[in-house]
Structure 1
Amino acid sequence: MDRDLLRESWLEFILFCPGLTVFVRVRRCRSHIMCPDDCAAECKQDVLHLHRVPLTGVTARELWLLSPWGTWQFFRILDDRLIEIRADGTPVLQGVVPGVPPSRPVSSSESGK
Structure 2
Amino acid sequence: MSRGPRPFQTLRDAIPIARIRGIVQVAERGPESLFDFTIAGAKPVAFVRVKYTESIRAVLAEILRDCDDEIRRLRSVTQDAALSCELWLRSRYGTWRFFRVTADALVELRRDGLPLGGKG
In the TM superposition, residue 29 of structure 1 has moved relative to its aligned partner by 0.6
Partner of 1:41: 65
**Contact 1:37–1:82 at 8 Å: present in 2 too?**
no
Q: Which has the higher helix share?
A: 2
Distance in 2, Cα, partners of 1:81 & 1:47: 10
Residue of structure 2 aligned with 1:28, choices 34, 39, 52: 52
What are structure 2's unaligned runs of at least 5 residues? 1-29
1:36 Cα offset (Å): 2.5
TM-score w.r.t. the length of structure 1 is: 0.69
CA contact (8 A) 1:9 1:52 kept: no
Query: Match of 2:94?
Result: 70
Counterpart selection for 1:54 from 61, 78, 81: 78
Relative to 1, partners in 2 of residues 1:19 and 1:40: Cα closer, same or farther, differing over 3 Å?
same
Partner amino acid for 1:35?
Answer: V
Task: Indicate the larger mover: 50-59 or 12-21.
Answer: 12-21
Asked whether the 8 Å contact 2:54–2:92 carries over to 1, the reply is: yes
* 1:50-108 Cα shifts (integer Å, max 9, x gaps): 11101101001000111011101101101110011110112225xxxxxxxxxxxxxxx
In structure 1, runs of 5+ residues without a counterpart are 1-6, 94-113
Deviations 1:25-46 (A, max 9, x none): 0110112133322211110010
TM-score scaled by length of structure 2: 0.65
Give the greater-gyration-radius structure (CA): 1
Cα distance change on mapping 1:19 and 1:91 into 2, 3 Å: closer
CA distance in 1, matches of 2:102, 2:80: 10
